[in-house]
Amino acid sequence: MNFLRPVLLATLLTAPFAGCVNVDKETANTPREYWKPPAQAQPKEELSLPAPQPASRGTQPDQGKLDLPTLVDIALSNNPQTRQAWYSAKTAAATVGQVNSQYYPQITVGAGITRSKVRGVAFNGGSNGAGTTYSTSYGPSAEINYLLWNWGKNYAQTEAARQALYAANYQYNQVIQDVILSTELAYFNFNAGLGFVDAATATLTDAQTNYKAADQKLTTGLGNKQDDLQALAQVKNAEFQLEQAQTQVETARSQLARALGISVNSNLDIVRDQTAVELPLVDKGVSDLMAEAMRQRPILMAAYANVQGARYDLDAARADRWPTLSAVSSLQYGYASGGVTDGNPVNNYSVGVQVSWEIFTGFNKTYAIISAQEQERAAREALRSQELQVVSDVWNFFYSFKSAVRQVDSTTAQVTAQQEAYNAIQLGYNTGLNSYVDLITAQDNLATARQQKVQADANLGTAISNLAHATGSLPLDTYTKTP
């Protein structure tokens, strides 16, 4: 047993350097928090693409009960996508620990019992060696195999697994941002639906008021039947529009509940008219936003980690062509009954160094290298594709945001102007200065302006959220109420 001592001592000495992995520390603490990447996970070279310019401004909101931060918190706690990505990251962390096991000796112990029969045959009529002997041997055994050198294959495989862990953690961060974005977009859609109901209700009130005025004129002889019937038709059309808007609200409610990861019910009430607060990022030029996205967009960082992992896989495939050097040892200790060793213990051991080289494997290693090369090229193209997608997203959502700000300004002014025009024409109709055609035209224009204002507010919130998501800086708790 003395031969085991050097091997066990080597094991103890190399254990601290073998890369023990704490799965919980290598990933996010909970399935609703960001994973904080270490310096080694950051790209070693700058990721950038040429880009353009301008800047813009935004709005200042408020808070309330089921507000956006509360909804986001509910989604992060309940949406199964975050947990699925979290468990995937933990799986990748466990894989790193599994690959690091290559740095330890492989020790196998066992025990067995063997029954043997040996029959000797005499030649030339003699009896020497003739007869049958039975023996039974039993006892423990141990084997130790320690890989000493394989041209960096272990290191490459370990680093490939580490890059896969980085990619999984970045993917997890991306899922968190995706869940936040889907929650925000569902909120804006639901809020817009409620806004359309408000607009349809106001239009119905206007239509009912106008119908009463037309009916009163008909009763007093100052109006005509055609105007009265048109006014009634406007009321019915407004009722139809209101029913449509209420149906859209329930559809939007179910979409919000799905984003939150909860079952839909009628008690899902929200704080109205919220949008993401005017963030510093919207005061930057589009080129600055693109550079920011290149530094922190999680999906891009994951693609970069995949490229690094593919490179290490290629290194491992190349190293696999060469011989390996291992230290080997075995021990067998037991007892035997019968035969020449009857009653005597058996003690066999061996210690040595072994070189192994697979000279020909049917071109398996050659094709493994080719496969790894193509995978590395595919990963680089995937990274390039992701860079182009990030640039496109930032450009698109930056100018969508600028347009959304202008839409809010114009529709706000339009509603004010149409309301004043409608009030004047309604007064004119009641005093006989305007016709009923003027009145219903003004009513329709006001209804359209109200709907456009609701849509513009929703577009602004959506644009800010999409822009923050595109740059990889989607906020979790910076929200306020639109003025």
Nearest Cα neighbor of 334 from 159, 29, 110 is 110
Q: What is the pLDDT of residue 50?
A: 42
Q: Are 467 and 289 in contact (CB under 8 A)?
A: yes
Residue 179 lies in a domain: yes
Domain encompassing residue 429: 19-108+150-336+362-481
Q: Looking at residue 67, what is its pLDDT? A: 85
Read off the CATH number of the domain in which 98 is found. 1.20.1600.10
**Token pair belonging to 102:** 């290559």
Q: How many distinct structural domains can be found in the chain?
A: 1
d(CA 355, CA 342): 37
pLDDT tens-digit series, residues 184-205: 999 999 999 999 999 999 999 9
Q: What is the pLDDT of residue 470?
A: 93
CA distance 316 to 178: 34
Establish if 4 belongs to a structural domain. no
Question: What is the Cα–Cα distance from 259 to 402, expressed in whole angstroms?
Answer: 27
* Burial (CB count <10 Å: 0-12, 13-18, 19+), residue 434: middle
Looking at the domain assignment, is residue 113 inside a domain?
A: no
* 433 located within any domain: yes
Contact 35, 172 (CB under 8 A): yes
pTM of the model: 0.79
Which is nearest to 81 in space by CA: 190, 178, 223? 178
Determine the pLDDT at residue 124: 63
pLDDT recorded at residue 123: 63
85-122 pLDDT, tens per residue?
Answer: 999 999 999 999 999 999 999 999 999 898 888 777 66
Q: In this structure, is residue 356 part of a structural domain?
A: no
Half-sphere exposure of 376 (CA within 13 A, CB side): 17
Q: What's the confidence (pLDDT) of residue 38? A: 84
User: Which structure tokens are listed for 40?
Assistant: 């080694």
pLDDT score for 135: 80
Confidence at residue 275, expressed as pLDDT on a 0 to 100 scale: 61
Whether residue 145 lies inside any domain: the answer is no
Angstrom distance (rounded) from CA 267 to CA 86: 30
Q: Which portions of the chain are predicted below pLDDT 70?
A: 1-20, 46-65, 121-131, 266, 275-283, 338-343, 474-483
Task: Evaluate whether residue 135 is within a structural domain.
Answer: no
The single-letter code of the amino acid at 122 is A
Please choose, from the candidates 169, 54, 105, 129, the residue with its C-alpha nearest in 3D space to the C-alpha of residue 326: 105
pLDDT at 132: 78
pLDDT computed for residue 45 by the predictor: 72
Rg (alpha carbons) of the chain, rounded to whole number: 38
Considering the domain boundaries, does residue 126 fall inside one?
Answer: no
